[in-house]
A and B are shown apart, each in its own frame.
Chain A
Amino acid sequence: MADDDQPKREQLARGPEVLLAAVLLLLAALVIVDSLRVGIGWASDGPRAGYFPFYIGIGLAGTATALLLGQLRRWRQDLRVFAEHGQLASVWMVFWPMVAHVGLIWLLGIYVSSVLLILYFMRRHGHFSWLASAFTSLAVMACIFGVFELWFMVPLPKGPVEALVGL
């Protein structure tokens, strides 16, 4: 990146723009390929399954290409800022716990993983005491248990800990 000499380090928008347009182009290709597989013409009973998606795919491919080429053509002039590096860092600080949370739901069920998530945020970002963090996270999940499992009777994913307690 050529923006190293600036005091605030920034991520320019042009990179993500190209990336997103390329992803859209890829998705369009997937749509077109599979539409061709199921058939885009007419069968005896009317249009085949790929008839409509095929043109959607073509349209998406066309727009994505136009966006991609347009961005590449303006590459040098386009100095719009996507975000400062500090901002991206704070976004990352929320994003990776989200991913970890979803992964842990798989292993431990939603209650334990959510307690861990709230504990982590309160300790790491809020600098609360262990007691306050533990109390808040358990209270929140107890409320959620009450509303979902008892009141509306919607079962949520549970793990080994709940099995141990017998819930």
Chain B
Amino acid sequence: MEELSNLIQGFGVALTLPNLGYMIIGITLGVLIGVLPGLGGANGVAILLPLTFSMNPTSAIIMLSCIYWGALFGGAITSILFNIPGEPWSVATTFDGYPMAQQGRAAQALTTAFTSSFVGALFAVLLITFLAPLLAKFALNFGPAEMFAVQFLTFCSFVGMSKEPPLKTLAAMLLGFALAAVGMDTVTGQLRMTYGSAVLLKGFDFLIAVIGLFGIGEILLTMEEGLAFKGKSAKINPKVVWQTWAQLFKYWKTFLRATAVGCWMGITPGGATPASFMSYGMARRFSKNPEGFGKGEIEGVIAPETAAHAAGTSALLPMLTLGIPGSPTAAVLLGGLMIWGLQPGPMLFVEHKEFVWGLIASMYLGNIVGLLVVLTTVPWWAAILRIPFAVIAPVIIVVCAIGAYTVHSAMFDVVMMLVFGVFGYLFKKLKYPLAPLVLALVLGDMAETNFRQSMLSSQGSLSIFWSGPLVSVIMALALVLLLWPLVPLLRQRLSGDRQAVRA
């Protein structure tokens, strides 16, 4: 097994004392980000990214990915103790987690949530370990046409699978592409859409967009509710942990289903949030005790947490192998890799083998460290939420502003962060999805380059996208997903016509 020997080498890279230290720092920062409203995985990583510019890439990505795991763990704490989802993917955890806390079973609920997160992530990392090298090897044969087709598929699947209105998904995505095109054209060197302004030369940085859309937008949204935290306190002792673990074995089927849903939704860019809802719905349907759901059923905590963490982790699979992030946070990590000069995609597995396997090994270690950290530190996190919002809110605003400034040391970026913040608020309120916008902004240049290279080799004929079996299949799949929202519409119209004929 080549993968296993590579993985062991990877552990050698990841398991150094400084790296373990970065893991613990990363996890702690991540849980903090996950617990605080207005700071989430994506913008948390974006804010901290500039701090890692001076570190070596392997340590940096280990710390950043640990922030991501920490945020995934942290979302559960606020959901269960405060009934406030710290992250969108932990909304489904509140349904049964908070009732459990109300019944005095907070410690059990938290242990279940953390363990489920861990199991979900572990399966997803196993999947990455064995599938990623195969996928990367396969993708080495991709030309520009195939790469564009895969990117096209990613974006079409947003339109087809998103629960937001398809037209709004499309609009958000196209806006992302338009913003990505601003600045110097990478191929011809011409300036586009700058309208003579010097600050637009560099174009719009997606890190600024992420901090604004997710950070500032989220704070504005939280303020509507005029925050007042009223939470349950919890202490986890080893006895409860052992008891809960013994109990969890019974639910292996729920774990398996949730992992499958999560991995699928993570690899296709469905993301952690829909995965958690879908998994919750499935668990209720398969349960022997569906009436118990919503009233403190332990399966109602297992299912969404396992799926969310599995999805969050497996979102890194397409990012590493194809250069296509499965979630906004994966997109930020991808941006980080590019800043360090590591181009994600199939070549990464050939050229930077050590880095890739170090990262994969760190996923195993990071999740183990994460589980231990959250199990032991829960009371402190709960205490943080008792700090009044009048202190937390301005500190979050300051941190966002600093994060935006440090990307390029430019004040213009801080102003743009506010503009993106307003857009983020409006988008959220009016049900435009943010993820496609961010992904289009990240992938825009790459997609455009692939498209232009394909056009160049076919002398401007779109037929290149139907020229081989592989590219045709991907394109066909993409078109099906793109047109998927029209199906219910057509069906409605057809049945409507029939009724009209009968009448």
A→B interface (CB under 8 Å): 13, 16-17, 20-21, 24, 27-28, 30-31, 34-35, 38, 42-43, 46-53, 56-57, 59-60, 63-64, 66-67, 70, 82-83, 87-88, 90-91, 93-95, 97-99, 101-102, 105-106, 110, 114, 117-118, 120-122, 124-128, 136, 140-141, 144, 148, 152-157
Known: A87-B224, A105-B401. A13 touches B429 (CB 8 A): yes
B1-9, B86-94, B173-181, B256-264: which lies at the interface: B173-181
Measured in the bound complex, the distance between the Cα atoms of B391 and A127 in whole Å is 11
Give chain B residues whose Cβ lies under 8 Å from the Cβ of A152. 51, 54
> CB distance B451 to A52 under 8 Å?
yes
B452 within 8 A of A: yes
7 tightest A-B contacts by CB? A126-B390, A60-B174, A125-B390, A87-B224, A49-B185, A121-B394, A53-B181
Known: A16-B429, A63-B174, A83-B429. A94 touches B452 (CB 8 A): no
> CB distance A93 to B223 under 8 Å?
yes
Measured in the bound complex, the distance between the Cα atoms of B414 and A107 in whole Å is 14
B144 within 8 A of A: no
Give chain B residues whose Cβ lies under 8 Å from the Cβ of A67. 167-168, 171
Give chain A residues whose Cβ lies under 8 Å from the Cβ of B51. 148, 152, 154
B456 within 8 A of A: yes
Measured in the bound complex, the distance between the Cα atoms of B406 and A67 in whole Å is 37
> CB distance A94 to B192 under 8 Å?
no
Give chain A residues whose Cβ lies under 8 Å from the Cβ of B143. none
> CB distance B226 to A47 under 8 Å?
no
CB-contacts of B391-414 with A (<8 A): 391, 393-395, 397-399, 401-402, 405-406, 409, 411, 414
B187 within 8 A of A: yes
Measured in the bound complex, the distance between the Cα atoms of B393 and A124 in whole Å is 13
Residue among A34, A63, A128 making CB contact with B390, cutoff 8 Å: A128
> CB distance A157 to B460 under 8 Å?
no
> CB distance A34 to B193 under 8 Å?
yes
Give chain B residues whose Cβ lies under 8 Å from the Cβ of A144. 398-399, 402
Known: A52-B452, A57-B178. A91 touches B394 (CB 8 A): no
Given contacts A20-B432, A49-B187, 18 further A-B contacts (CB under 8 A): A16-B426, A16-B429, A38-B191, A49-B190, A51-B455, A56-B178, A63-B167, A63-B171, A83-B224, A87-B224, A98-B397, A98-B418, A102-B418, A105-B401, A120-B394, A122-B394, A144-B399, A152-B54
> CB distance A102 to B401 under 8 Å?
yes
Give, as a whole number of angstroms, the nearest-CB distance from A42 to chain B.
6
> CB distance B171 to A121 under 8 Å?
no
> CB distance B406 to A154 under 8 Å?
yes
For B, the interface residue count at a CB cutoff of 8 angstroms equals: 60
> CB distance A153 to B54 under 8 Å?
yes
Q: Please, what's the 1-or-0 string for B116-148, where 1 marks a CB less than 8 Å from any CB in chain A?
A: 000000000000000000000000000000000
Give chain B residues whose Cβ lies under 8 Å from the Cβ of A128. 390
Measured in the bound complex, the distance between the Cα atoms of B170 and A34 in whole Å is 22
> CB distance B398 to A27 under 8 Å?
no
B272 within 8 A of A: no
Choose among A27, A52, A67, A70 the residue with the greatest number of B CB atoms under 10 Å from its CB. A52
Measured in the bound complex, the distance between the Cα atoms of B390 and A124 in whole Å is 8
Measured in the bound complex, the distance between the Cα atoms of B422 and A150 in whole Å is 33
Q: For residue A147, which residue of chain B has the nearest CB?
A: B51
B379 within 8 A of A: no
B220 within 8 A of A: yes
B415 within 8 A of A: yes
B69 within 8 A of A: no
> CB distance B411 to A121 under 8 Å?
no
B153 within 8 A of A: no
CB-contacts of B157-214 with A (<8 A): 167-168, 170-171, 174-175, 177-178, 181, 185, 187-188, 190-193, 195
Measured in the bound complex, the distance between the Cα atoms of B171 and A132 in whole Å is 47
Measured in the bound complex, the distance between the Cα atoms of B165 and A13 in whole Å is 15
Give, as a whole number of angstroms, the nearest-CB distance from B474 to chain A.
19
Give chain A residues whose Cβ lies under 8 Å from the Cβ of B190. 38, 49
Choose among B185, B225, B425 the residue with the greatest number of A CB atoms under 10 Å from its CB. B185
B219 within 8 A of A: yes
Q: For residue B50, which residue of chain A has the nearest CB?
A: A154
Can you list 14 residue pairs at the A/B interface with Cβ under 8 Å?
A: A27-B175, A34-B193, A38-B190, A38-B191, A42-B460, A51-B452, A53-B192, A102-B415, A110-B405, A122-B391, A125-B389, A141-B398, A154-B50, A157-B405
